[in-house]
Each structure stands twice: as structure tokens, then as C-alpha cells.
Structure 1
Amino acid sequence: MAFFGKMSRCGCIATMKSFIVRVTREPLVHFALIGLAIFLIFDLMDDTPPDVGTTDIIVSIQTADRLAENFERVWRRAPNAEEMDGLIDNFVREEVLVREALALGLDRNDTVIRNRLRQKMEFLASAAVGASVPTDDVLGAYYAENKDDFFVEGSLALVQVFLGPSPDDASTQAIMQALEKGQDPGTLGVRTLMPSSLPLSARATVDNTFGRGFYQSLLAIEVGIWSEPLRSGYGYHLVHIDQKQPGYVPELTTVKAAVQRQWLESQAEILEQAYFQKVLEQYNIVRPDQTVMAQP
């Protein structure tokens, strides 16, 4: 009977573990945990100035520890007793001046302060998303909907002969005939600081080298033959495409980390907007009459 009792307990434990695994994979559970985390973050990181009406400035153990941690992060060592007193004195000075500034209303209509407070609220509303880990199914579905964001552009390798800004037909034909006979391209054309060749390069590299739009003009050239004169931002070129590599959508496994980062960013935006809409419901917004504003 003891054996069967033990087996029963093991079965219950296994069932409970299975249930926990299934539940923790549910997106709704993730958002519930994220919501709880936001309240915890507010509680731990709340640095709202105290009521300016009080004259008590209490430097708590937590505040002192934070000051010491900030010091150690910069100087790679703990502060000594004299330095700790200086840190506390500086905190007290800051606290006194901040309270006096608040009492005078210096924070009102200050764009810098308002933007900083907005940034902190947006951070607090979305920071907890970092604790959420998407399942493979969730990540796969997100990737399927956003593949274009991870598209790897094509590239090509080329050799070019610069003809100058306004080449004449005779010299161009002579260079083309020399190339057909196998003459070294590096010995032909007008001397320039532009490279005579590029290894496999993406659009940005080619356009940065020869001018915007040059990469697009190369796509129509067949591999292995010299082109007709092509215009770039600097003049005209004869171009030989050595190799083309088409663009492609990579497998999820090769870009999983990047996809997960973008998924987290998207979830942070969703959570931030949801938080804002919830808070917005508490306010009555009165907008100005635009017809009145338009009057001179």
C-alpha cells in the first residue's frame, strides 16, 4: 500500500508540473505577470519627491545603499566613510533644492522636465516585457507576419572601368575592344580614386561608392559580360558583373535572437499603449475650439 501511495504522490506531482508548464506558456499569463511586475517596479523605483510641505529629509538605508552602488559603479570600489558622508551631503543638497524648486513651481511648463517624466512613465509601462519569453510557436507566427523586416538584400561583385564624366565614342569603343581581347581593366580608362573592383557588396556599399541608384542600374546586366556605358554620380563606367547573389528571407533559426528582440519591442509598445489608454480613461480632456484658434 505504501508503494501505491508513493506512486500516487508521484503521479500528482507530475500532473502538477505538467499543468504549471502549460499555464506558464499562455500569453494571458505572461501579461498578468507583466502587470504585476509593473506595480513592483513602481514600488521599487518610485522616486517621487515627497510633499514639499514637510521639513523632514530622511536618508534611509536604501537611499544610502543606492548612493554607494552608484559610486562603486563609477569608481570600481566602495566609498570610504568620508566619501559616504560626501555622497549623503550631496543628496541632501539636491533634495533641499528640488523641494524648494517644486515649492516655487519651477517644474511647471518646463519641456525638459515634462519629457523626462514622460520617458520614465513610458519606460515603467513597458519595462516588464523584458521578463516575457515567447514560445517557439508565438515567435514563429510573429516571424511569418514580419518576414520583410528581416529580408537580406542581394549583393553583387563587379569590375569597372571609369570612362570619365563625358567620354567620346571613339575612346569608349577602343576600350571596349581592348576588354574583349582580354586586356587588364586596371590599365584602361580614366584614372580615379574609385575602386576598380568590388567583392560581393550590398546596395548601400555600391551606392556609397559610385553614387545613389548605381546598384539598381547594375541589376539588368548579365553576369560574365561587359556592359554598355553606365552613368553614375561621377561619370560613365563599363561594368563587368562577376557574381550576383539574390536577396532572401533567412530561416528563423539563423535570426531568432533578432526576431525575439523585435517581438519584445512590439510587445512593449502594445503594453505601453494599453497602459496609456487605461490611464487616459481617468481624465476628462477639453480641447480648444480650432475655429476660434484660426481667427486672427
Structure 2
Amino acid sequence: MKDAPAKHGTRARGSIALLRSLAREPLLHFVLAGFALFIGGEVIRSRNEVHHIVVTQQREAHLASRYQLQFGARPDAPTLARLVERDVEEEMLFRQGLALGLDRDDEIVRRRIVQKMRFLLEDLSAPREPSDAELNAYYQAHAEKYAAPTRITFSHLYFSRDAGDHDARERAAQALGLLSSGKAQVSDLGDPFPDRYHFSGYEAEQVYRLFGRTEFSSATLSAPLDRWLGPYQSVYGWHLVRVDARTEAQHLELVTVRDRVRTDYLLDAQARTNAAALETLAGEFTVVRERS
């Protein structure tokens, strides 16, 4: 037990001797000096880069082009000089703001950077023009998108629920009887409607937007032509309807909708390449979620 302090003292003296020996080693001095110079150089280089602004010819051309798009003519020399001066001022303020950390915790700045990164990904992975075979294959796979929709021309009579739902339905049924027997004119029946009474060439989706996905809308798509029918309920109340014409959905050839197919093909291709680029980027990150 008494030997333990002696052993510790011996180790301490050995460590001190080793440190003194290393301190006299020229190679260690050289390594430490080199490391210090490297760190100092990196700090100076970083600071110099932040405060070193180069106005390139490409940047001047970009400023001139942006001015021309806005005002319809290229800037003269004094105007371009002012544009460059203002651009340099903005760049100085921007860099100083970054140095001060003003971009941190700023939702607007964050959204803008995210938006620019999305644009950058799109620029780097823009899809190529499709071949005729690729367009045709895409068209065949999505043919339902390129059909001419069903169109309906119809008239209706409206019966308000102001006095109750049952009353509105009964008045509609009575009006249908009068019309069927020829004892009344259309203009003498029904209540005022907030929109029109006659609809020409409407697509099914337009009918749904106006009257909801109701039995009245379904009747316009399936009822026999040229006769008053009902009553049918909508989001407004009760109606009688007369369908004057109905053009069923028609298949459209590729040559007719080629531009639409090309646009949709490129949009879908862009979406796929964007997703792949994001997946590749995500592979470079580790996401850890803290648990409460």
C-alpha cells in the first residue's frame, strides 16, 4: 500500500519528461506551426471571399437582359452602371446579413431558398423531348384524359324549399302534371332561381359545380330527351328538367391532342426526376427525431 504514491510519482515524472522531450522536437514545432498557419489562412481566405465581389460580364449581361424584359429596351451605359452599382450594394448587404446570421430562423428566407433549390433540381434534371413512340404509349395509358367530355343542353324549373321541403316537392309534382296535360305554360310555373334557367353545352363537371352531385345532376346525364321530368332534388331545392340535347363523350385521336399529351408527358417526367433527385439528396442526410 505504501508503494502506490511512489508509483504515481514515478509515472508523473515520466510524463513530464516525455512532454519536455517533445517540446524540444523540431518536427513537432513544424507541424504545429503549419497547422496554425493553415487555420489562420482558412479564416483569412473565408473572410476575403466574403468581402471580395467580382462583377462578371455574365452578371452585367443578366442585369441588362432583366432590364430589357421589364422596359422593352436594353439599358444605355449610365443606366447599366447604376444597375451594377445597385446590384453590388445588394450583394454587400446580402453577404453581411449572412455573416451576421440574419438568415437563421427566418421562415420567408427559408421558403425562398427551398424554392430556389427546387428550381435548381428542375434545371439540372430537365426531361428530354419524348419520341413519337413514347408519346403514343403515354397517350394510350391515359386515353381517358383526352376524350371530349359529355355535353348537355337542358332547361329546368325550380321550386324553393322556403315553405318546407315537402311543399316544394309537391308543387314540383303538380307543375309536372300541368305541363304534361298542356294546362300551363312553362313561364307560369316555378320560383325565381339565382342563376339561369337554360344551360347550353355544359360538361358534367360544370353541372356538378352548380347543382352538386345530386339526383338532379344525374338526371341531366341520363334522362330521355325532349320531355319534362321530375321532381329531382338538388342542393337548392326541387326541380323539373327537360334535356334538349346530350353529346356523349368522344374519343380523340392523338394527332388532335398531341400538344396536351406532350405537356402532360413532360410534367410527369419532371415530377419523376424531381422525386429521384430528392431521394438521392435525402440519402446524404441523417434525420433523428427527438422523443419526448
Aligned with residue 270 of structure 2, among 268, 271, 282: 268
Aligned with residue 101 of structure 1, among 90, 97, 102: 97
In structure 2, the CA distance between the partners of 1:70 and 1:135, relative to structure 1 (3 Å rule), is same
In structure 2, the CA distance between the partners of 1:114 and 1:51, relative to structure 1 (3 Å rule), is farther
TM-score (norm 1): 0.71
Q: Does 1:155 align with 2:148?
A: no
Shift of 1:105: 1.8
Instruction: Give the greater-gyration-radius structure (CA).
Output: 2
The one-letter code matched in structure 2 to 1:191 is P
In structure 2, the CA distance between the partners of 1:215 and 1:97, relative to structure 1 (3 Å rule), is same
Q: Which residue of 1 aligns with 2:61?
A: 65
Instruction: Please give the per-residue CA displacement for 1:115-138, whole angstroms capped at 9, x wherever unaligned.
Output: 322322322322366572211111
In structure 2, the CA distance between the partners of 1:53 and 1:77, relative to structure 1 (3 Å rule), is same
Aligned with residue 77 of structure 1, among 43, 55, 73: 73
Q: Which residue of 2 aligns with 1:178?
A: 179
The one-letter code matched in structure 2 to 1:243 is A
Q: Does 1:135 align with 2:131?
A: yes
Q: Which residue of 2 aligns with 1:21?
A: none
Shift of 1:229: 0.9
Query: Is the Cα–Cα contact under 8 Å of residues 127 and 266 in structure 2 kept in the other structure?
Result: no
Shift of 1:93: 0.8
Q: Trace 1:1-296 onto structure 2 (pairs within 5 A).
A: 53-54=48-49, 55-127=51-123, 132-165=128-161, 166-167=167-168, 169=170, 172-181=173-182, 184-213=185-214, 214-281=216-283, 283-289=284-290, 292-293=291-292
Query: Is the Cα–Cα contact under 8 Å of residues 129 and 267 in structure 1 kept in the other structure?
Result: no
TM-score (norm 2): 0.72
Cα RMSD (Å)? 2.7
SS across alignment from 2:110: helix
Q: Which residue of 2 aligns with 1:5?
A: none
In structure 2, the CA distance between the partners of 1:170 and 1:136, relative to structure 1 (3 Å rule), is closer
- Once residues 91 and 70 of structure 1 are traced to their aligned partners in structure 2, the CA distance between those partners, rounded to angstroms, is 12
In structure 2, the CA distance between the partners of 1:230 and 1:151, relative to structure 1 (3 Å rule), is same
Query: Is the Cα–Cα contact under 8 Å of residues 173 and 230 in structure 2 kept in the other structure?
Result: no
Q: Which blocks of at least 5 consecutive residues in structure 1 are unaligned?
A: 1-49
Query: Is the Cα–Cα contact under 8 Å of residues 158 and 191 in structure 2 kept in the other structure?
Result: yes
Query: Is the Cα–Cα contact under 8 Å of residues 159 and 171 in structure 2 kept in the other structure?
Result: no
Q: Which blocks of at least 5 consecutive residues in structure 2 are unaligned?
A: 1-44, 162-166
Shift of 1:212: 4.7
The one-letter code matched in structure 2 to 1:79 is P
SS across alignment from 2:64: helix
Q: Could you list the structure 1 runs, at least 4 aligned residues long, displaced by more than 6 angstroms after superposition.
A: none
- Once residues 278 and 211 of structure 2 are traced to their aligned partners in structure 1, the CA distance between those partners, rounded to angstroms, is 47
In structure 2, the CA distance between the partners of 1:75 and 1:169, relative to structure 1 (3 Å rule), is closer
In structure 2, the CA distance between the partners of 1:53 and 1:248, relative to structure 1 (3 Å rule), is farther
Query: Is the Cα–Cα contact under 8 Å of residues 163 and 172 in structure 1 kept in the other structure?
Result: no
The one-letter code matched in structure 1 to 2:278 is F
The one-letter code matched in structure 2 to 1:96 is M
Query: Is the Cα–Cα contact under 8 Å of residues 164 and 190 in structure 1 kept in the other structure?
Result: yes
SS across alignment from 2:229: coil
Query: Is the Cα–Cα contact under 8 Å of residues 160 and 185 in structure 1 kept in the other structure?
Result: no
Alignment length (residue pairs): 241
The one-letter code matched in structure 2 to 1:177 is L
SS across alignment from 1:137: helix
- Once residues 272 and 170 of structure 1 are traced to their aligned partners in structure 2, the CA distance between those partners, rounded to angstroms, is 58
Shift of 1:180: 4.1
